Each structure stands twice: as structure tokens, then as C-alpha cells.
A and B are shown apart, each in its own frame.
Chain A
Amino acid sequence: MRKLPQWADVVLVPLISLLLAAIVAAIVLLAIGQSPTKALGIMVEGAFGSANGWGYTLYYTTSFIFTGLSVIVAFHAGLFNIGGEGQAQLGGLGVALVCLALPWPHWTVALLAATLGAAVFGAAWAAIPAYLQAKRGSHIVITTIMFNYIASALIVYMLVDVLRPAGQMDPASARFPVGASLPALSDMPFLREFFARLNPDGTPRLTKAGVAMYSNVPANVTLFIALAACLVVWLLLWRTRLGYQIRAFGKSEAASKYAGINPVKITMIAMLISGGLAGMMAINNVMGSAERLLQNSAEGAGFIGIAVALMGRNHPFGVLLAALLFGFLYQGGAALGLNTTIPIEMRIVVQGLVILFTGALDQMVRMLLVWLFSFGRKAVA
């Protein structure tokens, strides 16, 4: 097959895949008797139409950056980690245990400790499937899926029987201490003006004491950690010896073994990093937003990571863009669920379509493009 120019491979293939996914999603909406254009309008308005919408969109984006990065690190080692959901839930447990352990004096200290807790718990949950894959040859796809189910049962047990404060009905941990409360984007200098509440005439709305009011948004300081993580993962994969080993192992296990790369070590390290990144998502949702551990805290973000990684062409920068796109889809999808009769599960449909077109049918898109490009060449000749 003819090769595509690189710009077409990097830019056109994902864009056309996305377009195809959007077309099929529109057909699905038409089939259940809804208007796709109206739905898109509501989604855009819900995600970007207000400061509040932006707050949620960026909040989801933050989570998806972590889970997307988690998937690509494993992907580069030739491992398909579907366990991001469970690892993120365990990360939440780590965050909760750290935050509840001490009356934290300042959020920076708490953030450092909680990040560590989240990463360690997420990595630990990935370690067992990684070990089984490396040593016993158990298929990592199936073991990580099993570990997702086991994780949610474990979290239910922890919340019902261990972490739930006496006298509380709903299965959730106690609230985290004030010192562990992360600043939201609306609390930060420079950014806060954007989240100011406005009167209908455009002037800032004031409290009775004359202080400006700001929207309460879930997006928080974790966003910057996520952005830093993109850079670190890029450095790791393309600028370090370990990253080279991970990529070589993923490209060809036999060749890398011959070059002296230890397959057990690389499998373990790649999965520990992957699980750690998935776990770190919990500082965004558990520590940054909910401020206590709830059941099903990851809310499917672990799975979205797969779509984000595929859409982002396995590159940290691509993950960033794809995470923003899915942040929009997620917040927009929530707006659909609130304002229309379209069930919120539409998000999962779109997610499946994006994975299908960008991950499994990308060869089809490429063939299509090669065919189109051949016309171009003929015309020039």
C-alpha cells in the first residue's frame, strides 16, 4: 500500500475518523427520533457556553489526560491496559486514606502526599496483572478487566464497612479536612476573573459585603499537574533510556530481548507507571472536587482513557487535545441528559464509535485517503 504523507497521517486520519464517528452518532440520534444539530448545539452551549460549563469541561479534561497518558505508556510497551478504571478507583482510596490520616496544615503538603498515595495505590493495583502477564503469561487484557470488577467490590466494602463514619447512611468516606481542600480554578489569581459571576448587565455580581462572587467550579489545580504529566511522559518516552526500552519492547519483544532488555522488568515498570498515572486521576475528582471518597468515583474516566489514547495517536500532546475533546463530549453529554430526553449513555455510544473508528478502522480511513491522494497525483501528472 502507498504511504501517506506524514501530515496526512498525523492530522487527517484522526480528523476523518472523528468525522465518521460523528456522522454515525448523528444517525443514531436520528434513529431514536432526536435532532443531531439541536443536540450538538446543546452540547456546545453546555460545555463552552458559560464559565460554569468551562469549569466542568476542564475538570473532565484533567481526568482524561491522566487516564489517556496511562493507556499510552502501556500501549508503547505493547500492553493494553483496560484496567484504568479500577486503578483510578484504587487511586481514590489512596487519596482518601492520605487525606483522612492527618489534619493537613496546607493544601500544597496535602497535595504532594495525596498524589503519592494515589500513584502508589493505582500502581499497586496494576502490579498484580502486570506480574501475572510477565511471569505467568495470563492475558493482561482479561486480568485488568477482572481487576476493575474486583476494585469496585473492594471500594464498596471499604466504604460500607471501614471508611463510613458512624451514623452515616450513604456509602461514602468522611469529608476530608479543610487543609486538604485544593484551590479550584475559580480561586486562582488571573484565572478567577474568568469565573466571575456576572449580573445580567455584565457587571460583576457582588455579595452583600461588596466582594465579587465567583462560580464554584470543579476544575482545580490538578489541571496543571496533568499538563506537567504530559510533558514528563513525553520526556520519559522519547528522551530517556527507559522510554527507549519501553518503546523497543512494544515494537518487538524478540528484538528487544536480543538487545538485552529484560521483558519482565519492562512489563512491570510500564504497568506500574501506567497504573500510577491512572491512580493520579483521583487527586482531580476525589481530592479536588468531591472531597470525600464516593462509590464509583472514577465514573468511567478510566475507560475514556482508551479512546483518548487512540484519538491522540499515542502521543502525550495528542492526548491533551483528545482529552479536551472528550471533556467537551462528557460535559456536553451531561447537558444533553439534563436538558433533553436523550439518555446520558449517548456519551458511551460516542466513546465506542471514536474507539472503533480511530482504533480499529483507522486502516479503512488510511486506505480511503491513499485512494483520494492517488487522484490528486494523477491530476498533477
Chain B
Amino acid sequence: MDYETLMQIFGSTVRLGTPLLLACLAGLFSERAGIFDIGLEGKMLAAAMAAGSVAAMSGSAWVGLVAGIGASLIFAMLHGVASITFRGNQLISGVALNFLSSGITVLVAQALFGQGGRTPPLAGAARFNPITLPFAEIVKDVPLIGPLYTEVISGHSILVYAAMACVPLTWWVLYRTRFGLRLRAVGENPAAVDTAGVSVVGLRYAALTITGVLCGIAGAYMATALQAGFGREMTAGRGYIALAALIFAKWRPWQALGATMLFGFFQALALRPDVVEKIAHVKVPVSMLDALPYILTVLVLAGFVGKAIPPRAGGEPYVKER
């Protein structure tokens, strides 16, 4: 495999890793606050449908993005009502919302456009188009740095750069602000936070709000940047892969970037059977390549994680004054 191809694969790694990264950070906020969220998948899907539909109707990707975030927030708040207010089982609530989202996105898209549950293909301003960073044309022919800059660093949509910026931002919020300290505390020992006079419920809803916004961006990216429109089940398990990445990253933001880019790389490889064949020297069935990201996810979960210790109060509804 030559350098050029490798850079192309890295470029699509970034593109495919971005929704995983956003969803992973989304999960990081809710799980650090003690709320398991299996429903990342459903939130992304709902956001993808809303963003795709609204972008198709308004012709603006930005309006679509706002709609996507709105749809994702609705699902996040439903999860909050079920798992925070009514202390339901967080895993079951997440699974339920994933099914709800899977069905309702098709219903709404069909009712709006009548194209078999898809949105019309998006083009022009209805999509987030690639941005060419400055000097990309000039350094293009410089060896080594040229392809790296033009293929991997430049030429992505603005949401990719926004997702990258979310990594240091998450780190800063989590470890350098009072809100972040309380958020982490509420995931470890909510009773202590409660004793200090801070609202456990309030903090957890705040965390889910951030989760909703980030999943919204992830879904909008799927429908208006990565692909040109919404299609049935288009998230294809990315919410779950993001959860696996979150465990792999042991609930830390910089490691989340590494983990999601690794999974993004697996997905990028699955798109290039020719390259895989050249390296493996055997004909690899396409269906095996499709399964590759999931198999590697299981391998990562099984072996390389080491001891992943989740936030201590994760999954436990907080009951005041027992």
C-alpha cells in the first residue's frame, strides 16, 4: 500500500470517525453523570432524519442542524423523564427509545416526502460541504506533508472541525470547571453532591442536555455532511460502537478521540476491500469486511481494555432519603 492510499484511508477515517467521536463524547457526559445511555443510536437517527428533512425543505444545512439537535434533545429528555424522574431502568429506556426512533423516523420521512422513508437527496447549501483549508493547493505536491495536509487535515466539513474542537472543550469542562467537578461527582457519589446542596436531578438533566446536543450534531453530520440525505437505519449501530469506544477510552475525552478514530479506521478499511486484500493476500468476502468494525469492537472490549471501571453510580437511579 502506497503513502497516497494510506492518506486517503486516513482521510475517510476522520470522516467516519467524526460521528463516532461526537456520539462518544455525548455518552461521556451522560455516563460521567451516572446515566447509562444505550440510546445514543436512536438520538443520532432521529437527528439525522430531522436534519435531512429540514435541510431538504429549507435548503439550509444550518437550519437542518438546529432541527437535528432539537429532535435529539426530545429523545434525551424522554430518557431523562424515564430514568431520572421516574427512576426507570436506564438500559431498557435506551433500548425502547432506539426502537421508537427506528420506527418513527421512517414514518415521519414517509409522511413528509413519500419516498419510501428516505429524504430527497440533498445538494448545495443543504449540505455541509468540504472546506479546503488555506495553502492546501500550494502544499499539495510537497512530498509526505502534501498528501497528509490535503487528504487528512484539509477538505472536511465544518462539523468535523467542530467535533475535533469538542475534545479539548470537553476536557476543559470536565476537569477545569465547577460544573465538571460536580458532574463527575454525581456519577460517583450522588449522595455527597446532594448533601452539598447541589441538585442531583438538575445536574443529570444538564448532562443529558449536552448528550442530546452532541448526538444531534452527530446525526446531522450523518445526513447532511457524510451522506446526502437520510435513509432508513442509516446510523447502522454507530451509537453502539461509540459506547464501545467510550469503554475503551475509559470515559476520558482525549482517549475517546483515539478510540473513535481507531473504530473510524476499521470502518474506513471495510470500505476498501482492494487494500485489505492486497495486505492480507487472500480474497476477503465483503460481508466479513462489513462485520470487521463489530468484530474488532468485541475484541477491543474483550482484551485490550484492561480494567475499565465505569463511574460508580452509573445505572443507579438516585433516591433521596432512604
Contacts and interface: CB of A to CB of B under 8 A. Distances in A.
A49 interface: no
A174 B104 CA distance: 36
Contact of B86 (A128, A347, A364): A364
B247 A363 contact: no
Given A132-B301, A146-B298, A360 B291 contact: no
Contacts of B83: 360
Assign chain A's interface to a size class. 35 or more
Contacts of A343: 106-107, 110, 117
Contacts of A128: 298
Nearest to B99: A352
Given A146-B298, A360-B92, A345 B103 contact: yes
Assign chain B's interface to a size class. 35 or more
A360 B82 contact: yes
A346 B107 contact: yes
Interface stretch (B3-11, B60-68, B167-175, B282-290): B282-290
B270 to A, nearest CB: 10
A141 interface: yes
Nearest to B36: A141
Contacts of A154: 287, 291
B285 A356 contact: no
Given A139-B301, A150-B295, A352-B101, A156 B287 contact: yes
Interface stretch (B123-131, B197-205, B236-244): B236-244
Interface in A135-167: 136-139, 141-143, 145-147, 149-150, 153-154, 156-157, 160-161
B103 A146 contact: no
B146 interface: no
Interface string A67-109: 0000000000000101000000000000000000000000000
Given A153-B290, A345-B103, A349-B107, A146 B244 contact: yes
Q: Report whether over half of chain A's contact residues are helix, strand or loop; otherwise say mixed.
A: helix
A82 B95 CA distance: 9
Contacts of A310: 92
A139 B99 contact: no
Interface string A308-333: 00100000000000000000000000
Nearest to A306: B95
B165 interface: no
B88 to A, nearest CB: 4
Interface string B77-114: 01001110011111111011111111110111011000
B303 interface: yes
Contact of B111 (A32, A137, A153, A356): A32
Contacts, number: 150
Contact of B285 (A141, A157, A362): A157
Contacts of B290: 153, 156
Nearest to B92: A359
A250 to B, nearest CB: 13
Nearest to A342: B107
A269 interface: no
B295 A360 contact: no
Contact of B95 (A33, A355, A361): A355
Contacts of A80: 91-92
Contacts of B96: 352-353, 355-356, 359-360
Contact of A349 (B78, B104, B294, B307): B104
B99 A348 contact: yes
A349 B103 CA distance: 5
Nearest to B301: A138
A143 B244 CA distance: 9
Contacts of B104: 28, 345, 349, 352
B308 A303 contact: no
B301 A359 contact: no
B298 A150 contact: yes
Interface string A350-381: 11110110011111100100000000000000
Contact of B106 (A138, A157, A160, A345): A345
B56 to A, nearest CB: 17
A237 B104 CA distance: 37
Contacts of B99: 303, 348-349, 351-352, 355
Contacts of B88: 359-364
B100 A349 contact: yes
A190 to B, nearest CB: 38
A153 B298 contact: no
A143 B301 CA distance: 8
B115 to A, nearest CB: 11
Given A82-B95, A141-B38, A356 B82 contact: yes
A315 B87 CA distance: 22
B309 to A, nearest CB: 10
Contacts of A142: 240, 243-244, 247, 297, 301
A160 B285 contact: yes
B291 A145 contact: no
A150 B294 contact: yes
A280 to B, nearest CB: 23
Contacts of A355: 92, 95-96, 99
Nearest to B88: A360
A33 B111 contact: yes
Best-buried of B91, B107, B290, B291 by chain A (most CB within 10 Å): B107
Given A161-B285, A346-B103, A361-B86, A352 B247 contact: no
Interface in A7-35: 28, 32-33
A150 B104 CA distance: 25
A346 B288 CA distance: 32
B145 interface: no
Top 5 closest pairs, chain A to chain B, by CB: A348-B103, A352-B99, A352-B100, A153-B291, A360-B93
29 contacts: A32-B107, A32-B110, A136-B303, A138-B305, A143-B298, A145-B240, A146-B244, A146-B301, A153-B288, A156-B287, A157-B285, A157-B287, A306-B95, A343-B107, A345-B104, A348-B102, A348-B106, A349-B99, A351-B103, A352-B101, A352-B102, A355-B92, A355-B95, A356-B82, A356-B93, A359-B92, A360-B82, A360-B88, A361-B81
Given A142-B243, A154-B291, A348-B103, 16 more contacts: A28-B104, A28-B107, A136-B301, A137-B307, A138-B305, A145-B240, A149-B291, A153-B291, A343-B110, A348-B100, A348-B102, A349-B107, A351-B103, A356-B82, A361-B86, A364-B88
